Amino acid sequence: MKDLTSPTANIGKFKDSQVTADGSERASVALSNPETLWFNTGTLCNIECENCYILSSPINDALVYLSEAEVGQYLDQIAERAWPIREIGFTGGEPFMNPQMIAMTKTALARGFEVLILTNAMLPMMRKSMRAGLQELEAAYPGKMTLRVSLDHFSAQHHDEERGSGSFAKTIEGMCWLRDMGIKMAVAGRSLWGESEADSRAGFAALYQTHGFDIDAQNPGATVLFPEMDENVEVPEITTACWGILDKSPNDVMCASSRMVVKRKGAETPVVLACTLLPYSPEFELGATLAEAEAPVRLNHAHCAKFCVLGGASCSA
């Protein structure tokens, strides 16, 4: 497993949550409009990718399976705190490794939320029980559930470089099944191969046309192209002055509108994190309840700068 404490190109930076390396006040982000509550269903995955930000694999159980009851407790808290949540997101690991995935999804849909599930659409999703469950959910809550499929590139060659030989074909097979069932899909790709955004979107558009996938390649919410999250790439720290310099509002950053629930191995209860991208950084653990998770977040990590503020990316739809 990757050493999470290894030095990076940002030596000297991101050491103090209050100030940057040059003594400037570090930017913070308030939870101004909570729209998405994420649940990490566990870090176990059926494959091990070359560059996985959360280090998911068939053996990494650092984040253990959440249960339907635990998800329900946080949905209760949404109502208690009057958060204007519209979407419940499930991520992993591979969510369909969790045996309670269908039950957790049903619980969220039954409360009136839209549901977004991040998946590689491979064998775990294609098990008979999961396919039957997805069909039942789509029939009961038509159009309220979206599966965002991890398809790193529109070519088998590049996708398989990241996820292993034959992965592309298995993912396409899963996507064809979702297409035939009428289940809404989106795609998460990567900006990893030096292509322009226009070229990447054109490549995905051609792929969608070939397979009859009803996915908009030009819509950043339907075809998400994530910047590579490499902590060894030097990035600037974000100060309070950056908002004006960049002509950007802190309300546009992901931690202004979302939180993520995880359960750590050996823990009695889940906790709430500020960000989906930082599951192993203790500083971004806000507490066990949504009330505690309303605290503002200091942008004290390289991912805050590259992925969110400068990259403008979001995990939500």
Cβ 186 vs Cβ 222: under 8 Å = yes
Q: What is the mean pLDDT of residues 243-271?
A: 94
Q: What is the mean pLDDT of residues 279-294?
A: 95
Angle, helix 167-181 to helix 128-140, in steps of 10 degrees: 40
Structure confidence by residue, pLDDT tens digits, 176-214: 999 999 999 999 998 877 899 999 999 999 999 999 999
Cβ neighbors of 274 (< 8 A, separation 6 or more) are 255, 259, 260, 284, 285, 286, 293, 297
For residues 255-283, one letter each, b for 16 or more C-beta atoms within 10 angstroms of the residue's C-beta and e for the rest, the string is bbbbbbbbbbeeeeebbbbbbbbbbbbee
Q: What is the mean pLDDT of residues 15-22?
A: 92
Question: Strand pairing of 28-29 and 297-298?
Answer: antiparallel
At residue 13, φ and ψ (nearest 5 deg) are -100, 165
**Rounded Cα distance, 277 and 166, in Å:** 27
Q: What is the per-residue pLDDT for 236?
A: 87
Q: What is the per-residue pLDDT for 120?
A: 97
CATH superfamily of 33-234+254-298: Aldolase class I (3.20.20.70)
Structure confidence by residue, pLDDT tens digits, 152-175: 999 999 999 989 999 999 999 999
Residue scoring higher pLDDT (1 or 171):
171
Cα dist. 217→116, 208, 221 in Å?
Answer: 18, 8, 9
Is residue 229 scored above 70 in pLDDT?
no
Q: What is the per-residue pLDDT for 227?
A: 75
Q: What is the per-residue pLDDT for 232?
A: 67
268-276 long-range CB contacts below 8 Å, 24 or more apart? Answer: 269/70, 270/66, 270/70, 270/74, 275/303, 275/304, 276/38, 276/40, 276/89, 276/91, 276/315
Is residue 9 scored above 80 in pLDDT?
no
Average pLDDT, the chain: 91
Phi-psi region of 291 (alpha: psi -120 to 50; beta: other; left: phi over 0): alpha
Is residue 293 scored above 70 in pLDDT?
yes
Is residue 1 scored above 80 in pLDDT?
no
How far separated are the first and last CA of the chain, in Å rounded? Answer: 30
Structure confidence by residue, pLDDT tens digits, 32-84: 999 999 999 999 998 888 777 788 999 999 999 999 999 999 999 999 999 99
Is residue 8 scored above 70 in pLDDT?
no
Phi-psi region of 8 (alpha: psi -120 to 50; beta: other; left: phi over 0): beta
User: Is the omega angle on the peptide bond into residue 92 within 30 degrees of 0, that is, cis?
Assistant: no
Q: What is the per-residue pLDDT for 234?
A: 79
Torsion of CA 69, 70, 71, 74, to 10 degrees: 120
Is residue 102 scored above 90 in pLDDT?
yes
Tokens 């805050």 correspond to: 304
**Rounded Cα distance, 104 and 317, in Å:** 19
Is residue 230 scored above 70 in pLDDT?
no
User: Which is nearest to 306 in space by CA: 259, 260, 244, 237?
Assistant: 237
Q: Whole-prediction pTM value?
A: 0.92
Q: What is the mean pLDDT of residues 14-36?
A: 94
Cβ 27 vs Cβ 238: under 8 Å = yes
**Rounded Cα distance, 187 and 226, in Å:** 11
